[in-house]
Structure 1
Amino acid sequence: MFDSYYKCVIILAQKFRMDYMWAHAFQTFYRLHDLATDWDQARQMCEAEGTTLLIPSSLEEIENLKLLMSNMKAYYTAVFIGIHDQFADGHYVTVKGEPITGTVLELLWAEGRPDNFNGTEHCVVMSREGLFDDRPCDSIFPFVCKILANDTQYNEACDGFDLGYSPHGVITNKCYKFHSEPLSWHDAYLACKLEEGRLAIVNSPKEANVFVSFLGEHLNSNTPDPNILYIGFSDLMFPYQYRTITGETLEEAGYASWSPLKESLQTSTDKRCGAISRTGFLEVTYCDRPAMFLCEKLLNSTS
């Protein structure tokens, strides 16, 4: 009976997102993001997926990662990894704050590296040969996200692996995840998508009250505008035609309540991205202005 239980635990531990590759020898899941970006966004994207920007743990794992990197487009020479010296020049640490001094990682620098060329190289890439090089953090590279099987946890209530999502008693067909850290509307949209959710859409006055309740729990936020919450509508596809990220008009979605005091939409040409205020009214604001945001996941009938 113990053997059967043990096998069951192992099988469950090997389940994770479908876009991650399972490496049995290392009991680890990996995802190669072939869409290149800068180091900061690479870190954020891994975190949004519930994982960590790659920190190699052994020479054997490096060899395995070289095989994974062989799937990259030929013109890419390296991937970003979760090591940097942005806190103190020359003091390299992982994204978890652990110094690499005295570890096997310290032995993996390419010849003559790190050199902090022009005083601008504070993030680390790993070449196809498995060697490290310091590069500017705003350089553009693919990257690898990683999570140990033992670190994966299944959120049964919301049918996924992100424990940040939770159901709300009033709305029965959705789970929500509130993000208090401010991002631009575009980055908020991407963060929700990476979590396998979407930027939340208001479908009723009752749900609008739910959205406002999340803001009510963060009265002392230090965001640029603590009185709004980014949600999933804009006029980015059709100027002055506000639609949800799924293509519906606000009326079709079920909620189109604007503030009676709102400025003329014709004069707010630079304000194109959607939010909801603490009063429950919809408004539009500058898409690049960081704000708190809400993600949602739809629950199917069998969840």
Structure 2
Amino acid sequence: MFTKTLLVYFIVYILSDFSYGQRDKKFFRTDYDYIETTKGFYKIHTSEQTWAGAKRVCALEGASLFYAENRAEANAVISWWKTVQPNVGWAFVGISDIITEGIFETIDGKLVSEVYNQWQRGEPNDLHGDEDCVHLKLSGDLNDYRCDGESYFICKKSLASLEWNDLCNMPQLGYTFSEDTGKCYKLHTTPLNWTEADTVCRTEQSHLAVINEKLEADYLANFTKSASRRRIKGDYLKGIFHAGFQKKLYEDWQTVRGTPISSDASLWWDNHLPTEDQHKQCGSMFYTGSLNIVNCATKSLFICEREVDTETLGEEEYYE
């Protein structure tokens, strides 16, 4: 135990000294760019989402759906946008009149009159009576648009709001470092199917937990005990957690890391390695820590895992 404690102190020291996630390093995530003049990090998503979906993706990344606070920020972001994604003509921003028809406000409750509000001529016009969300165009104009329509979108993280999980070397504070495995984990208690769970983990720059040894299985069995004490709504399979392995078409069982699954029978429920089952193509872990297979459409809780990266990155690209 003393040795493990020393190891944790050593990792904290190393990451505190060299971590690229501190504010003075001006780093948030590898897929975000920092704009010096606005003191913020930005990302244009080119996988289209509805407005609500865009808001959710930004939140999963630890950011929020962007809106320009003022003309200076709008100009800076549009200049950056023209550099990184010049072929994207418009994107959802964090403004809507969903709460009260005709009163546009930001995702954090500011009236649109208090922030950048250069509307395109004739807008907002609520075409067909269902345009309650807002696009920012590359021209700098705002336009109301259907919330259920899919579009590109921009996420933002302000430098002032940046916090850092030193032990896990990431901005996601919900991850817990394990002294036993040297990895970080997060228990998600919103039931999803396997594919949705996999997407959430990847969005958080981690992956569904890959369990290759008894030590890790025992740790995760204990780590997930709290789930049994929670009142979680929804129709889902209790007592299991999605895990990071699956059987793709015409391929053998493999982990989400692209490696073969563990052949150690003691890790598997009833000591049975997975077999061919056209209805069960995804991986799971029982609350006991034993591995099993499950229908990919089954909804359950899940565990995301991240290997701790102690290496620093090179200089990030800044935009003035």
For the aligned pair, the TM-score class normalised by the smaller chain equals: 0.7 to 0.9
Deviation for aligned residue 1:62: 0.9
Q: Please state if 1:229 is matched with 2:241.
A: yes
Amino acid across the alignment from 2:160: N
Name the CA distance, whole Å, in 2 between partners of 1:192 and 1:153: 19
Q: In 2, are the aligned partners of 1:91 and 1:99 still within 8 Å (CA)? A: no
Name the CA distance, whole Å, in 1 between partners of 2:310 and 2:271: 38
Corresponding residue to 1:250 among 256, 261, 272: 261
Q: Tell me, which stretches of 5 or more residues in structure 1 are unaligned?
A: 1-9
**SS of corresponding position for 1:158:** coil
Deviation for aligned residue 1:273: 2.2
* Distance 1:210-1:224 versus aligned 2 partners, 3 A rule: farther
Name the CA distance, whole Å, in 1 between partners of 2:23 and 2:288: 48
Map 1:96-175 onto structure 2 (within 5 A): 96=108, 98-105=109-116, 107-171=117-181, 173-175=182-184
Cα deviation, 1:236-258, whole Å, max 9, x if unaligned, reads 2546x322112233225887403
- Alignment-derived partner of residue 290 in structure 2: 281
- Alignment-derived partner of residue 188 in structure 1: 197
* Distance 1:228-1:94 versus aligned 2 partners, 3 A rule: farther
Name the CA distance, whole Å, in 1 between partners of 2:266 and 2:127: 54
The CA RMSD over aligned residues, in Å, is 3.0
Name the CA distance, whole Å, in 1 between partners of 2:264 and 2:64: 35
Q: In 1, are the aligned partners of 2:169 and 2:309 still within 8 Å (CA)? A: no
* Distance 1:134-1:158 versus aligned 2 partners, 3 A rule: same
How many residue pairs were aligned? 288
Corresponding residue to 2:101 among 89, 104, 112: 89
Q: Please state if 1:178 is matched with 2:187.
A: yes
Work out which structure has the larger RCO, using CA pairs closer than 8 Å and 6 or more positions apart in sequence.
Answer: 2
Q: Which runs of 4+ in 1 moved over 6 A?
A: none
Amino acid across the alignment from 1:144: I
TM-score (norm 1): 0.82
Deviation for aligned residue 1:196: 1.9
* Distance 1:213-1:113 versus aligned 2 partners, 3 A rule: farther
**SS of corresponding position for 1:160:** coil
Aligned sequence identity (%)? 25
Name the CA distance, whole Å, in 1 between partners of 2:97 and 2:272: 49
* Distance 1:62-1:248 versus aligned 2 partners, 3 A rule: same
Q: Please state if 1:23 is matched with 2:41.
A: no
Q: Tell me, which stretches of 5 or more residues in structure 2 are unaligned?
A: 1-21, 313-320
Amino acid across the alignment from 2:254: R
